[in-house]
Structure 1
Amino acid sequence: MKKILPLTLVISSLLTASFAATAEQSVVTIGFQKASLFTIIKSRQSLEKQFSPQGVTVRWVEFPAGPQMLEGLNIGAIDLAATGDAPPIFAQAAQADLIYLAHSVPNPNSEAIVVPENSSIHTIADLKGKRVALNKGSDVNYLLVAALQKAGLSYKDIQPVYLPPADARAAFQKGAVDAWAIWDPYLAEVSATTHARTITTAEGLVPHYSFYLASRKFAEGSPKLALQVEKALEENGQWANNHKQETAQLLSAATGLGINYWHTTLARIDYTTQRMTPDVFKQQQNLADTFSQIHLIPKQVDVSNATWSLDKKN
């Protein structure tokens, strides 16, 4: 005979299960890269101070660039990430279940396409048939596509050489590539040490946002923590904008790059952080459609699927 549980025990079991399903997690794992606002938050221990009284531990994992970081987000290795414009699109195309928490204001002058000082390349049109190094799926991938289109060229007119920043830096100095699409602080460093010449920044081509992303599991399962992260991004972004010298010292110590490179970088970056808006989602959709049309991603992506439930209008 099937045993019938007392009603009070059934209710207690349901309440326990409900609490377990909605309980905030006790460890938050954050992916970050150089120049990211998360690096500043990590160095200032802002989230540790906020989470520790709640019994929540913060774990930090460094990545060389956004695409690799979002691979980590996709497999559940991290809960949060900070990337440029393009990586979330590639991640969604790869079925990553992510959401957009927040974004920076546009920073188009913090990424560029550079060539060696004595190169015969002076315009984007001169890149036809040339080898261009870039990190595939990164924000500069969008810059390169947009720059080529404006010059009347297609992505097929150049030879993309997909390399992470450190390898691309070595290839650029050896002359193994003709140009390099890169972002700060790498841009500041290579310009200063090799006198690399900028043929275009993202100004007038693409907005170049930084996006702060979360796994859906984290954002929807631990909304209180996610909101605290979003608030920390806003507060630390404002602090960084108002304390350039301290920020340069902090980032120099965190990355091992000379403080002069960070002064150059910070002159081009505004860390102001905001919640997502329909207009920013629309701009991301334009990016996704562009990548789909030239077959950089295998299928169309609906960016709105990555909207946080707290940002959806009822």
Structure 2
Amino acid sequence: MISRSRRLTALLCALTLSGAAALTACSSDTAAGGAKITLGFSAWPGWFPWQVAQEKGLFQKNGVNVDLKYFDSYTDSINALSTGAIDGNSQTLGDTVASVSGGAKLSIVLVNDNSTGNDKVIAREGITSVADLKGKKVAVEQGAVDHYLLLLALQQAKLTEKDITLVPMVTDQAAAAFLSGQVDAVAAFAPFTSKALERTNSKAIATSAEFPGAIPDHLVLGEKVTKEHPKEVQAIVNTWFETLAWIKDNKDAAIDIMAKRGGVSVAEYRSYDSGTSIFTKQQNIDAFTPGVTPQHLNFQAGKIADFMVSVGLTAARPQVDNLFDDTFIKAVP
């Protein structure tokens, strides 16, 4: 099964190695003349519609030449964007804020979805609440979005990370370790939640549904790409909504495509529906509008920036004021 690491720290590391200048330089070359825009995506239900767009010829229909690149490792897609090997990527808000902290110039142009249950903290039999994790072994990918979910859940239960034994592992290995009984709990995302829940009498004791808006997923492009190739970016955003309409009218065929891309059965894929809330155009507009509630991206970005400082991922609070570009959403027909 495929892997979606969803790391907050990967892009910080990559930028340290390659320098932020590589992002704009290489992205400009890739998209030169509007001939081609290379987009990355990886294993997450909210991003699989891109596969539908490709297979049904919807990019071409909207007059844009897209090289859609699938990454088995989400971390690799983050690194590819940071070095300019691709022009855009589907990634979480947390990873994007991390890249901004490292010096990248990026623009979020589209909200794909919010995680509304497909990120979970799953525990063995006998552990019935997050409070019961005190003193227990919990596997999670450090710096990843499910690490953030775990910390939110612990805080809600009046615990901290010091109250548990954190076992750092990449997400697929963490789910396997939990299934084999090596740890007491795991924080993971779909599709690895399905594997973890195969452990007898295991259950989710916290999910992203309890923290509305905390885990939004986006289409992120190099800032230079949005400035130099707005026509192509607009066509890609338009294609996203046309794809959602096609999926609505052809749900069975769409699920077949997306389940195959995800390496899961159709039945498993259908089980993810309620845990990933795909955003409409209006929900996008509302999210991009500045505000002080969890539905607003600027609010969530601020919370994530504070989280990064509190856990030592960055010394200075990232500046996210210019991260959100609602130009293309507002121009969708």
Q: Please state which band the TM-score falls in when normalised by the shorter chain.
A: 0.7 to 0.9
Shift in Å at residue 111 of structure 1?
Answer: 1.4
> Larger C-alpha radius of gyration, 1 or 2?
1
* Residues 86 and 142, structure 1, Cα contact 8 Å, conserved in 2: no
| Corresponding letter in the other structure for 2:264 | L
Q: Deviations over 1:240-267 (max 9, x none)?
A: 3555433321222223211111010123
Asked if residue 41 in structure 1 is aligned to residue 50 in structure 2, the reply is: yes
Asked if residue 94 in structure 1 is aligned to residue 106 in structure 2, the reply is: no
Of residues 38, 43, 58, the one that matches 1:29 is: 38
Distance 1:138 1:63, change over 3 A: farther
| Corresponding letter in the other structure for 2:275 | R
* Residues 252 and 258, structure 1, Cα contact 8 Å, conserved in 2: yes
Of residues 115, 118, 122, the one that matches 1:107 is: 115
Match in the other structure for 1:305: 322
* Residues 240 and 271, structure 1, Cα contact 8 Å, conserved in 2: no
Shift in Å at residue 54 of structure 1?
Answer: 5.2
Asked if residue 277 in structure 1 is aligned to residue 289 in structure 2, the reply is: yes
TM-score (norm. length: structure 1): 0.80
Q: Which runs of 5+ in 1 are unaligned?
A: 1-19
Match in the other structure for 1:174: 180
Query: SS of 1:136's equivalent?
Result: coil
Distance 1:187 1:81, change over 3 A: same
1:6-155 matched pairs, under 5 angstroms: 24-45=33-54, 49-51=58-60, 56-65=65-74, 67-116=75-124, 118=125, 120-155=126-161
Match in the other structure for 1:288: 305
* Residues 105 and 209, structure 1, Cα contact 8 Å, conserved in 2: yes
Q: Deviations over 1:214-273 (max 9, x none)?
A: 122322221111111112222323443555433321222223211111010123322224
* Residues 175 and 188, structure 2, Cα contact 8 Å, conserved in 1: no
In 2, the alpha carbon distance for the partners of 1:63 and 1:130 equals 31
Aligned length: 290
* Residues 165 and 182, structure 1, Cα contact 8 Å, conserved in 2: yes
In 2, the alpha carbon distance for the partners of 1:155 and 1:296 equals 15
Distance 1:53 1:139, change over 3 A: closer
Match in the other structure for 1:3: none
Query: SS of 1:109's equivalent?
Result: coil
| Corresponding letter in the other structure for 2:306 | D
* Residues 37 and 236, structure 1, Cα contact 8 Å, conserved in 2: no
* Residues 27 and 59, structure 1, Cα contact 8 Å, conserved in 2: no
Question: How much identity, in percent, do the aligned residues show?
Answer: 22
In 2, the alpha carbon distance for the partners of 1:105 and 1:127 equals 29
Match in the other structure for 1:233: 240
* Residues 31 and 62, structure 1, Cα contact 8 Å, conserved in 2: yes
Distance 1:91 1:141, change over 3 A: farther
| Corresponding letter in the other structure for 2:317 | Q
Match in the other structure for 2:164: 158
Distance 1:258 1:299, change over 3 A: same
Q: Which runs of 5+ in 2 are unaligned?
A: 1-28, 291-295, 329-333
